[in-house]
Structure 1
Amino acid sequence: MAADRFRTQLRDNQLPETVDGVLSALRFWEQQGGYCAYGKAGETSCFPTLEAGTPLDSRTLWPIAVYPVTGTVEVVFQPLKRRPPFDDEPMRRELMARFNEVEGIELAEAKLDLRPSFPLEVFAARSEELCAVLEWFVHAVALAEARRPLEVSPVAS
C-alpha cells in the first residue's frame, strides 16, 4: 500500500519530530475533508488532495507535494495555475504569502508559477502553522465553490 510505503520512507529518512509534524498535518488535512494521494515512483510522494466542482466539472486540487526521502515539500503553483480558484494570480500570491509567514519557508516571488520547495523539517516545529495554511486552502476552495453559479438543469414538463 502506497500510504504505508510513504510512512516507512518518512520514518526511515527523517527525524522523529519531522515525522510527527508531517503525519499530524496529514491527519489534520483529512479532518478538513481532504484525502492523501500517493505517487508511484521509488520515492513515494504524498499529495494532500481535495475534489472540487460538480460531477460534470470535477477537478482535483492539492497545495503541496511531500517527498519523504529527499526531505522537501513542493508548493505546486504550476498545476494550481490551471485550477480555480487558484487560476487567479492573487489567490496564488495569497497562498505564497501564507506559506512565507511560516518561519523556515522562503518561497521566491519569481516562482509563483512554478514548484518552489521548502525543507520538510519545517513540519517539526511549525506543524500547527502549516496546518493553518492548509486550512486556509480548504476554505478558499470551499468559498469559491459556494460562489460558483448553479448549473441550470432542464425541467421536465
Structure 2
Amino acid sequence: MGEETRAERFFRQLAADDSPGTVEAVRALFTHWEGLGGWIGHGAGHVTTSAYLMLGEVGGPGRGIWPMTLYPGAGRGGTAEVVFQYLAAREPFADRALRAELLSRLNALDGVDIPEGKLELRPNIRLSLLGKDRNRELLTETLTWFRDCWKDRGTS
C-alpha cells in the first residue's frame, strides 16, 4: 500500500468532519474546476491539508491565481476561504469592482452573507452549503465567471 497523497489526505480529512453529500459536492466542484482548465493544488500540512483552486501555469512562480482555498473542518466542518486579500494584488481582480462582483455572486448562495467590508480580507463559506443543488449551481457558475474574467482580462 502506497503513501497517501495530499489529495487523498484532504478528502479523508473532509470526510471525517462533513457529510458524504458535502464530500461528493466538493469532488464535483473540483471536477468542474479542472474542466475549466484549472488545477487543484494541495497544501503540505500534515494536520490539515488544504486545497487551492488554481489557474495559471502549474508551479509557475507568481503566475497563478486562485479564488478560494478549501479546508477540512478539523471538528468544525469544512470551509472555503475566499481570498479577496490576495486577489487585490492580482490582475484582473486588482480592480475592486471585479472583487465586488465576485462577492455579490457568492452572496447569492443561500446561507452566504459576506459584508462588503471583507473585500480586503479572507472570509469563509461553509462547505456544507454545497449540499443544496442551487448553491452548487451558483458556485460553479461563479467559478466559471471567475475563470472567464481571468482569461479575458488577466495575464494568462
For 1:36 and 1:130, the matched residues in 2 are separated by 16
What percentage of aligned pairs have identical amino acids? 36
- Match status 1:74 vs 2:88: no
- Match status 1:104 vs 2:117: no
For 2:111 and 2:15, the matched residues in 1 are separated by 21
RMSD: 1.8
1:22–1:127: 8 Å Cα contact kept in structure 2?
no
Runs of 5+ unmatched residues, structure 1: 149-157
Runs of 5+ unmatched residues, structure 2: none
1:100–1:107: 8 Å Cα contact kept in structure 2?
yes
- Match status 1:39 vs 2:50: no
SS of match in other structure, 1:139: helix
Q: CA deviation at 1:13?
A: 1.3
Mapping for residues 55-94 of structure 1, pairs under 5 Å: 59-69=63-73, 70=76, 71-94=78-101
Q: TM-score, normalised by structure 1?
A: 0.86
Distance change in 2, residues 1:9/1:77 (3 Å)? same
- Match status 1:12 vs 2:16: yes
Q: What residue in structure 2 maps to residue 134 of structure 1?
A: 143
Mapping for residues 20-39 of structure 1, pairs under 5 Å: 20-39=24-43
Q: Deviations over 1:102-124 (max 9, x none)?
A: 11111111110000111111111
Q: What residue in structure 2 maps to residue 51 of structure 1?
A: 56
1:6–1:46: 8 Å Cα contact kept in structure 2?
yes
SS of match in other structure, 2:44: coil
For 1:142 and 1:129, the matched residues in 2 are separated by 20
Say which one has the larger Rg. Answer: 1
Q: CA deviation at 1:25?
A: 0.7
Q: Which aligned runs of 4 or more in structure 1 are off by greater than 2 angstroms?
A: none
Distance change in 2, residues 1:58/1:68 (3 Å)? closer
Paired residues, what number?
Answer: 144
By percentage of residues, which structure has more strand?
1
Q: CA deviation at 1:145?
A: 3.7
